Structure 1
Amino acid sequence: MFKRWLLASTTAAVLAILPIAAQAQTNGGDIVVTYKDDITTLDPAIGYDWVNWSMIKSLFSRLMDYEPGTANLVPSLAESFTVSPDGLTYEFKLRKGVKFSNGREVVASDVKYSIERAINPKTQGPGAGFFGAINGFAELTGGTAETLSGIETPDDGTVVFKLSRPDATFLHVLAINFASVVPKEAVDAAAGDFGKKPVGSGTLILKDWTIGQKLSFERNPDYYIKGVPYIDSVTVEVGQEPLVALLRLQKGEVDIAGDGIPPAKFLEIKNSPEGAQMIVDGEQLHTGYVTLNTKVKPFDDVKVREAVNMAINKERITRILNGRATPANQPLPPLMPGYDKAFTGYGYDVDKAKALLAEAGYADGFETVLFSTNTDPQPRIAQAIQQDLAAVGIKAEVRALAQGNVIAAGGTEGEAPMIWSGGMAWIADFPDPSNFYGPILGCGGAVQGGWNWSWYCNEALDKRAIEADSMSDPAKVAERQAAWGKIFTDIMADAPWVPVINERRVVAKSARMGGPDNIYIDPTRVINYDAIFVK
């Protein structure tokens, strides 16, 4: 996408977000969505799981966004932008009249404040590393500055970014949740609880949140694109077991079963008369993996990590998922540019796994803990992994917890030896291989509250990652993709992960829900609340 925008920027192209046109939309209607676990936060600088990601997308706006159901970048809060020929200066002109839900107009200083807040270590957000190319990043993250020298606001309608190096992903970065624009006065007034009292300029407004029961959202009547969103309200009910949610959906009491269809019911639903209307099934940029905490024994030994990679039977896990996944052998999913089709990784080999454990001094195995979320089928997958590990002498206690608790354990150094990421596994923030590195395998993600749950940091690979992202010349797209692909296959020599599966996403929706399938499996939003509608 960088090539398209680099060329367009010379004329400061002005584009608007266009509504979905695949079906005739209707306006109005109230919908019910269910999830098993409560939402942890709606703060865009902190929230980073696949459930709150969609809600945050709709509560807030960003300079850039994507056409619904696609990964095609378009200006959003920005009306237009230009990029300097050297790729080091980006200037954005803001739309006039855009308002926060507290009634105040969005101005350039809000953009600067919001990104600085996302980067500031005091926020303890997991997205700081995305903004590493902005001048002043090192000073802000290092605690020697409170602001970014690389963001200038010459007037209320103009934001200028000065980069220390070209960044081929920078426009994508300005479209992710961490770049959401928030009003400082609302953050200050919330006194540390902005995640429960969000104020944004997106399509939805949070009206009520009863912890452990439900969240109520209403359409923002002042949203700057008239007629969007199409629905009047969304009620998100939490604490719903997936099976119960599915039965309620069949009765017409639920419109979207957020946790999908339990594998035990999938074939029954698929073959039912209403199955074709209920099921949305599609590819996604996803990898499910087991993290191995490289900071704790015995996973500080690469031979142990290699042994675990060889001990897990990935084919069995795909069968648990009714074949809605394929075995993975590297961090990148097959649809991502840079994926190495020739790479085979670690094959399933029980004897070799035992031999490696013996070489590492663990001929009799060892005891450990495997964390997992507690929503079906994740505990069953964790138990299958537990059985595989037992076959090579590793006794793993499965600790199935609510998603928020697993995330907290992963982001605390030394607390979680192993995590099965299912239910939270990595879905791309944007369609670029770099997104599978920085937050989850790079040194910047191996921090308190981060998502690099292996706590793996390879400074030489970090340097190569920066070099790859600095290839912003459109003529070097293929070279850049190859560079990224080699980074990921080289990572596997250190085996900080066990890449397990690349899973398809399956959503269950009621027959009255409208819109094309790709907004229910949106590549950048998971579910696009801005584009769905009631027929």
Structure 2
Amino acid sequence: MLVLAVVGIGAWQLLPSQDDNNKTITVGTTDAVTSLDPAGAYDAGSWALFSNVFQTLLTFEPGGVEPVPDAAKSCVFEGGGLKSYQCRLRDDITFPSGRKMTAEDVKYSFERVKRINSDVGPASLFSTLASVTADDATTVTFHLRTPDATFPLKVATGAGSIVDKEAYPARSLRTGDGVDGTGPYTLTAYTVNRKADLAPYRNYKGYLSGTGRPIELRYYGDSRKLSSAWAAKQVDVATRTLPPGVLSELNPSDPKQRVTVSDSSETRNLYLNTRANSPLNDVRVRRAMAWLVNREQLAVKVYKGTVDPLYSLIPTGITGHTTSFFDTYPTQSAKKARELLLQAGVSVPVRFTLGYGRNRGAGAEEAAELKQQLEASGLFKVDVRGYEWTDFQKRWAAGKMDAWAVGWVADYPDADTFGSPLVGTGSTMSTGYSSKAVDHLIRDSQQYPDRARAASDFRGIQADVATDVPLIPLWQRKEYVVSTEDVGGGQYLSDGTGVFRLWRLNWI
């Protein structure tokens, strides 16, 4: 079970002032929205917005590991085989057009995600979904190819956002700046890379007992710009993320601000292109790299101790976590790396490109540090290249880089979210890696409703990943939220469940 460890809260008064019900709370972030269409985005910034303007059949309570009904009244596996999952919808949900939501809308929403199959969309999350049927106006059944106990968790993610079938094209992504969802907020105005204005959706019916305050989400191109906005009091809440130097100096006892620091399941890995046309195709080259990466130095030098070194695919706090990379590569060793490259018969230094998303936290500084660590041995020559975020996504999806560092926010609180999307055949990270053994372990792990029983499968996955090295784990983030002294609820914004709870923010 995930543990939400919050510090610096003190004796906050969490009762809202009735005088401030309609006063807008301004939230600043560096997370970018790549698409307003749920079929075309699989990133933290887009899903943060989706969890507020769309509804899913199920959702997660703060700190919860089991989904609870939202647009659905109930959902259950039928027949005992984990291959047929049925949900009964609420009958009082209406889209902004005034049309009532039906099972056909749910069927349509899931089918179009798979049909469109966007390169940067979430279709891979539904790899076990064979078909969907609308049995009547309020009953929908998901038919799975293989038993998948994690399917309810996936239904509760941004990929399961329910759209109005009359407002979204069946075979292409919707364009423009409009959203037709039934979440606790409506999107009243949107400017790409600048801001999203959210007003409470008064017709919302679902898990929440009520909607929140009006919100203005402001998007900043990099963490320094967010820091400047916070310092200038242009935002009431700053999250994801301020610069490491600023985070390391936050003072929870400062009466002029509220600071929460919580455990997070967000990880960052260095993904490696395993395709035949990449200089990293040979597993011995990738293992050599694993012998040279110094996570502790990266965490201290670049991130000022605001992240923790990570030694496996699955982060700490998630059932099934191991330290497979520490066990296999316990310390930096240029000698062992050189021996591997000699066995591989490759020319030294091995030259490859390392890409990162520009204006995404400390991406440039991190890339520079990794370059220094790898080149210090004389065994590698690294060409570092930064790209605008959307272009960066498309490049890794097309296999146009040899290595790239990307953060991964858990889709749901289960180790499965670090399996198929990251290292399964056809993974979202598009490394070209495919292992029958890993795929088999992923499928096996999905058969257990009691997720603790899947731990041995996850240990096997992590051991294989440390051997095959399609990625090198770098670090695990701590979640920081800072707000002005008169805004409460920041501790609920993000907790590893994949839900960004803007409705929990309030004036106090």
TM-score by length of 1: 0.84
Residue 410 (structure 1) aligned to one of 384, 393, 396: 396
Aligned equivalents of 2:402, 2:193: Cα separation in 1: 29
Alignment of 1:385 with 2:367, yes or no, is no
The one-letter code of the counterpart of 2:294 is N
1:66-145 correspondence runs (5 A): 66-86=60-80, 87-124=82-119, 126-134=121-129, 137=130
The yes-or-no answer on 1:199 pairing with 2:177 is no
1:344-403 per-residue CA deviation (whole Å, 9 max, x = no partner) reads 232321222223223323352132211112234221111100101111231212212232
Q: CA deviation at 1:25?
A: 4.0
Is residue 489 of structure 1 aligned with residue 466 of structure 2? no
Q: Deviations over 1:424-483 (max 9, x none)?
A: x112111211110111111132xxxxx2232211133212211221233x4xx4432111
Contact 2:66–2:153 at 8 Å: present in 1 too?
A: no
Match of 2:263 in 1: 283
Query: What do the CA deviations read for 1:90-146 (whole angstroms, capped 9, x no partner)?
Result: 322211110112221110011111111111255445422332333xx2xxxxxxxxx
Separation in 2, partners of 1:181, 1:428? 20
Paired with 2:387 and 2:251, the residues of 1 have a C-alpha distance of 29
For 2:319, the aligned partner's letter is P
Aligned to 1:7: none
CA distance in 2, matches of 1:367, 1:457: 24
Q: Which residue number corresponds to residue 328 of structure 1? A: 310
Q: Is the 8 A contact 1:68 1:531 kept in 2?
A: no
Equivalent in the alignment of 1:24:
15
C-alpha contact (below 8 Å) 2:293/2:332 kept by paired residues: yes
State whether structure 2 residue 41 is matched by structure 1 residue 57: no
2:273 and 2:265 map into 1 onto residues whose CA distance is: 24
How far apart are the structure 1 equivalents of 2:63 and 2:420?
A: 25
Change (3 A) 1:506 1:101: same
Equivalent in 157, 163, 166 of residue 185 of structure 1: 166
Mapped partners of 1:303, 1:207: distance in 2: 53
Cα distance between partner residues in 1 of 2:264 and 2:350: 36
Q: Which residue of 1 aligns with 2:447?
A: 470
Tell me which residue corresponds to 2:5: none
Aligned length: 487
Tell me, in whole angstroms, the C-alpha distance in 2 between the residues paired with 1:273 and 1:460: 52
Change (3 A) 1:278 1:362: farther
Among residues 347, 350, 361, which one is paired with 2:334 in the alignment? 350
Quick one: distance in 2 between partners of 1:123 and 1:395? 34
- Show the counterpart of 1:310: 291
Corresponding position: 1:533 with 2:506 = yes
1:179-234 CA distance string (max 9 Å, x none): 111112211399743473321111122222223432222221211157632112x2
1:502 partnered with 2:496: no
Q: Give the CA deviation at 1:64.
A: 0.7
Amino acid at match of 1:220: Y
CA apart distance, 1:178: 0.9
Deviations 1:63-82 (A, max 9, x none): 11111353342111111233
1:355-370 equivalences in 2 (<5 Å): 355-370=339-354
C-alpha separation between the residues in 2 aligned to 1:94 and 1:333?
Answer: 34
Q: Which residue in 2 is equivalent to 1:440?
A: 422
Instruction: Give the superposition deviation at 1:339.
Output: 1.1
Say whether the 8 Å CA contact 1:290–1:500 is kept in structure 2: yes
Matched, 1:460 2:437: yes
Deviation at 1:157, TM superposition (A): 1.1
Residue 246 of structure 1: SS of its match in structure 2? helix
Contact 1:69 1:528 (8 Å CA) reproduced: no
Confirm whether residue 372 of structure 1 aligns to residue 356 of structure 2: yes
Deviation per CA, 1:11-68, whole angstroms, max 9, x where unpaired? xxxxxxxxxx993345432122233465211211221111221101111111111113
Q: Which whole-Å CA distance do the structure 1 matches of 2:218 and 2:422 have between them?
A: 30
**Cα distance, 1:534 vs structure 2:** 2.4
Separation (CA, whole Å) in 2 of partners of 1:72 and 1:404: 32
- Give the conservation status (yes or no) of the 8 Å contact 2:32–2:46: no
How much does 1:527 deviate? 3.2
2:458 is paired with a residue whose SS is helix
Q: Percent identity?
A: 26
8 Å contact from structure 2 (residues 248, 306) kept in 1: no
Match of 2:203 among 218, 222, 246: 222
Amino acid corresponding to residue 186 of structure 1 in structure 2:
A
Quick one: which amino acid aligns to residue 218 of structure 1? Answer: A
Amino acid at match of 2:414: D
Q: What code does the residue aligned with 1:497 have?
A: L
1:284-326 CA-partner distances (Å, limit 9, x unpaired): 1122110110013211100100011111111111102222222
Query: 3-state DSSP class of the match of 2:503?
Result: coil
CA distance 1:124–1:378, shift in 2 (3 Å): closer
Q: Please, which of 391, 399, 403 is the counterpart of residue 385 of structure 2? A: 399
> Which stretch of the first structure deviates more once superposed, 210-219 or 295-304?
210-219
For 1:153-192, list aligned pairs within 5 A.
153-188=134-169, 192=173
Structure 1: unaligned runs, 5 residues or longer: 2-20, 138-147, 446-450
CA distance in 1, matches of 2:287, 2:57: 43
Q: 1:195, 1:507 → 2: CA distance?
A: 31
CA distance in 2, matches of 1:465, 1:215: 38
Secondary structure in structure 2 of the residue aligned to 1:197: coil
Distance, in Å, in 2 between the alignment partners of 1:412 and 1:510 is 42
Q: Deviations over 1:211-265 (max 9, x none)?
A: 3432222221211157632112x22223454234324324432022233221222
C-alpha contact (below 8 Å) 2:31/2:44 kept by paired residues: no
Residue number among 243, 264, 278 corresponding to 2:245 in the alignment = 264
Cα deviation digits, residues 509-533 of structure 1 (max 9, x gap): 222221261x123222363113222
Residues 191 and 455 of structure 1, relative CA distance in 2, 3 Å threshold = closer
Comparing 248-257 with 462-471, greater Cα deviation is found at: 248-257
Structure-2 separation of matches of 1:190 and 1:152: 18
What is the SS of the residue equivalent to 1:439?
A: helix
State whether residues 264 and 496 of structure 2, in contact with CA within 8 Å, keep that contact through their aligned partners in structure 1. yes
Contact 1:294–1:300 (8 Å) recurs in 2: yes
Equivalent in the alignment of 1:8: none
For residues 113 and 58 of structure 1, what CA distance do their matches in structure 2 show?
A: 20
Q: CA deviation at 1:274?
A: 4.2
CA 1:371 to 1:195, structure 2 compared with 1: closer, same or farther past 3 Å? farther
Q: 1:386 to 1:466 in 2, by over 3 A?
A: same
Structure 2: segments with no counterpart, 5+ residues: 2-11
Tell me if the contact between 2:266 and 2:496 (Cα under 8 Å) persists in the aligned partners: no
SS at match of 1:215: strand
The 2-side partners of 1:56 and 1:285 are apart by: 20
